[in-house]
Structure formats: structure tokens, C-alpha cells
Structure 1
Amino acid sequence: MSTTLLLVQALNGLQFGILLFLVAAGLTLVFGVMDFINLAHGVQYMVGAYLGAVLAAWTGSFWGGLLLALPAALLLGLLLEWLVFRHLYARDHLSQVLATFGVILFLNQGVKFLFGAAPLQMPVPEALSGGVRLMEGLLYPTYRLAILLAGLATAGLLWLLVEKTRAGMLVRAGATNAPMVSALGVNVDRLFMLVFGFGAMLAGFAGVMAAPILSVEPGMGDNLLILAFVVIVIGGIGSVRGAFIAALLVGLVETLGRSLVPDLLRLVLDASAARQAGAALASMLVYVVMALILAVKPAGLFPVRR
């Protein structure tokens, strides 16, 4: 593999890792603070992509679609929390898994009923079209670099919010010992609702940013949800810093693995066999890395102290 192609794949891996972080950050807060397994978090990423595509078409502007999709994703998350999820907090994890899986089925069929099974397209904003010359022979898409910068800025703002504000202090305290926070007079139900809504908005933001480069279609968040769970397990449940580091790691391993493993296997196998075996091994690589990390640090890279 050439140096140019390796750099492109590394940038693609970082960009994919940023999208994973935006989904996993809300998921790790919900799981860490509320001890609530929300399988429907991936479908909120899908709903964000649909909201962005539809609202961008309605306003005639990517930016208009983005600005309207974020509060819409937040409101939808709060509505789901009020209608469904708050009734499951006291239930066991199996009940939460079954109920949120039902939400996945309902929302997937809902968008299919409203918009059909055909993928929707969201145009790249004109200001971010074209490419940036990173080196001789390498013109990298401007929009993908914008996703990287937007994700890094969001990660910085989220760190400031969690680490430097009173609301963030309550979230961290809730992740450490929710019963004690409740005993100190904090309205834990309201805290849970805000955390859930904020997590849904982050997932929706990831969906809107991914919409111009991916097909917006029913079920698009299902595979991403699996990787998001891998991220929070590697990073440490409830840790935003851990989710950020683990998301970049998973994004790089997932992207570079699919490019490098078949090339390495061509050294010992013919091209057809290397391609087939490489695809199978590359899909396993993330889980192998997770197993190795958990063998050394069973609580993840940056576990929340309890």
C-alpha cells in the first residue's frame, strides 16, 4: 500500500472514529449514569440523518437542515424518554433490551413507511465541496476534514461541560453513585431526562454529519450501535474521555484493518483467497483488540471510579 493511500485511510479512520464518538458519548453517559441499556440509541443516529436530509431539502440549505435537526433530535429523544424509557429504569436489563429493541423495529418501520425503503441523499454544502491538497498527489475532501474538526470541537465542548460545570459535576456524580446524588436533594429523574435528551442530540448530530457521505436509509444505525458498544466497553462505561480515545482507536482499526489485512494476506495467498479471508479477518479485528484490552484492563482504559 502506498503512503498516500495509507494516509487517506488513516484520515478516513479518524473521521469514522469521530462519528463513533458522537454516538458513543451519549450512550456511555446514559449507560454510566442511568445503568440503562438503550439499544435504540443507534436508531436515533438514523433519525438524525433523516431529519437532516428532509429539513435540508425543505429549507434548501444544509446549514438550515443542521440547525433545525439538532433541536428536533433533542425533542424526539425527550419524547421517547417520557413515553417509553423512564418506565424501564427500575426494570432489569433484559426488559430494557427487549423494550428498546421494540423501539428499533418501530422507528425503522416508521421511516420506511414515511420515506420508503429507497436511500435519501443529502448534498454536501457548497462551502465545503471540493478538496484540500494535503501533499503532492493527495486531494482530501474538504467535507470529511470538516467532520473531523466539528467532532473535535464537540469533544472539547463536551469535556468542558462534563468537567467544568455544575451540570457536568452532577452527571459525573450520578455515574459514580446515583443513590447518593438523589439523597443530596438532586432531582435524579430530571437529570436522567436531560442526559438522555443530550445523548439523543449527539447521536442526531452524528447522523446529520454522516448523511452527505453515506446513504440515509432504514437500519443505517444498527451496525454503528454495535461498534458504539465496543467503544464504551473499551473506553470504560461512563467515561467520556475513554469513549473519545476508544472511538478513535476503533475507527482506525476498523478502517485500516479492511485495507491492510487483504494486502498482507496477498503475500501468502492468491488474490481471490486473500480478498475473502481478509474481509473476514478484518471484520473480527476490532473484537480481537477489545478482547486484548479487556484482558489487561477489565474495566476499560479509563474506568469511572465507583
Structure 2
Amino acid sequence: IFQTRSRGCLKNFLGITFVCLVLLTCVVEKHTLLWTFYLKYKAFVDFPLSLILPLVVWLFKRQKDFNYQEKTEKDKEERKNIAKYKNNKQVKYFAGITLLIFFPILFSLTGCQRLTDVEEKNYILSMYVDYPADEENAYQFWIARANLSEMEGQSDEIPCKITKIEARNLQQLEEKYLEIVPGKTEWNHIYTIFLGSGIAANKTACTHLLKEWDNEWQKSPNVLLALCPENPKELYKIKNIPAGAAGQEINLLAEQNKEKYSGQICETPIDYLRAKQQQEDKITLYRVTIENGNLKIMTDEL
């Protein structure tokens, strides 16, 4: 694009631009709004131009070389007609190439709506289950899901929302849950299943629920299983952790005590079902309690 006599200016310009970009990157990474604007500029302006400008330069260069070859008036007239035809053809070609490049880029930057938009998915982080004695074949579920839309920019804490549902099995639970909270539900990120006193006392109901959990391929097989005699309302309102984040906290405590209780604990639904199949008399699980407003973890026999 630049003439030969302007190479010195071009070098100076490129050097200054490079230094400015280096300084700019040191600034924008610390400011979310600047960084977001910079990424949008690169995606929607800089990248498309990097594809389109070389093509424009090539077309102009071809036109310039063609004009230098004109010698006689007759040739000029003939070449004008040819050039006119070629220019029309090149314009159409250029427009077609631009559309083929530009629109796929814009389409790829829009995402795939619910298939990839994280904030529109319902990520289940923990679940409290109980089985009241006065209710026949009905479980009570307290579902804690991640509320990603309310997360602060640089915060590591994931706020949760709690939804209480009564259902006879997991399939009915999912159906009722989707009626209350529409959208795609992700169970693969769940940390902990808390077993209340009622379901802990009813081993048949507990085994039936965990078998159904194990048979569903989309459910997380490595979810932590823990007894919890505490009221779910108190469990999900511990002051020293984010609201609803008891599942993450207990999972972390279990990981820290893993070596201490190695080989003694049935940590997952699969471990529990395997112990039941082997007809073990005593099944040891983690037990969660609240002491002085803090979550504590120990072992207990079911």
C-alpha cells in the first residue's frame, strides 16, 4: 500500500504501534470493560479486515498492472471494454468472497445459543434428599443450582438458588424441576448428595434412589454421598460460606480427610451399592453436622 519513499515512515509507524500495543495489553487485562472491548474489536473489526484488505490490494494491483500495458489508442479502446467487463466480474467476485468470509465469521461469533451459553444452563451443585415417614413412596428434594447470572466479574464464589420438590423418583423429579426452572439441566457438575434422617432410616428407599441414580448415564457417578441430620434450611444458610454452597464445602472437607478414612468410607452411590450387594452389615458414610455455625465432617454407620 505504501510507496517506496515512505518505507522509513512506515517503519517508524509500525514500531510506535507495536510499543503502544504492548503497553495497552498491560493495561486492559486489569480492566474488564477495556479487555472486553478490545476482544470485540479484534473479533469483529481487525480479524475480518485482515482477510479482506489483502484481497482489495491484490485487485487494485492487478488493475494497475493492466493499465501500464496500454500502448495505442486502439488498444486503449479495446482494453477499456475488456477492463469494464473484468471490473464487473471482479466486483461480483470480490462481493462473493467478502460474503463467504464475513458472514461465517459473524455466525461463528454469535455462539450456539442454549448449547453453549453457560449462563442459560442449570448446573446442579448439590442435592438434599429426605423420606418422611408420613409420606408413602414420596421423596423430598432440595436442589441447589448455580446462579451464574448473578456472579460478580472476578469472584470465585458461585451463588446458588434452592428449589424444593416432592417426587416419587428421579424421573419425576426432573420433570417437575423443568416445569419450575426451564432450560437445560446439567447433573454432571454435582458435588454432594445429602441424605436426611428419614431416608437414612429407610434403607429400602435409599437403595432404590441410588440405584436409579446409578442407572442414569447422565448423572455424575463420582458425586459424594453424605449423611446429614441437619435441617436443609440451616444447611444451605451457613454464614461463613456462600448461600447454598454446602455441597462444595463438604466435598472439599472430604478430599482433605481422604487419606485419614481411606478404605473405610463409601464415598459414592456406587460404593454404597457395591457394599449392599456384598451384604455388608455396616456401611460407613461421611456425616455432616453444624457446630457453632461451621460445617463439620466425621464418619457414621448407616
Normalised by the length of structure 1, the TM-score is 0.23
* Higher relative strand content: 2
Which gives a bigger RCO, structure 1 or 2 (Cα 8 Å, sep 6+)? 1
Computing the radius of gyration from Cα coordinates, the structure with the larger value is 2
* Higher relative helix content: 1
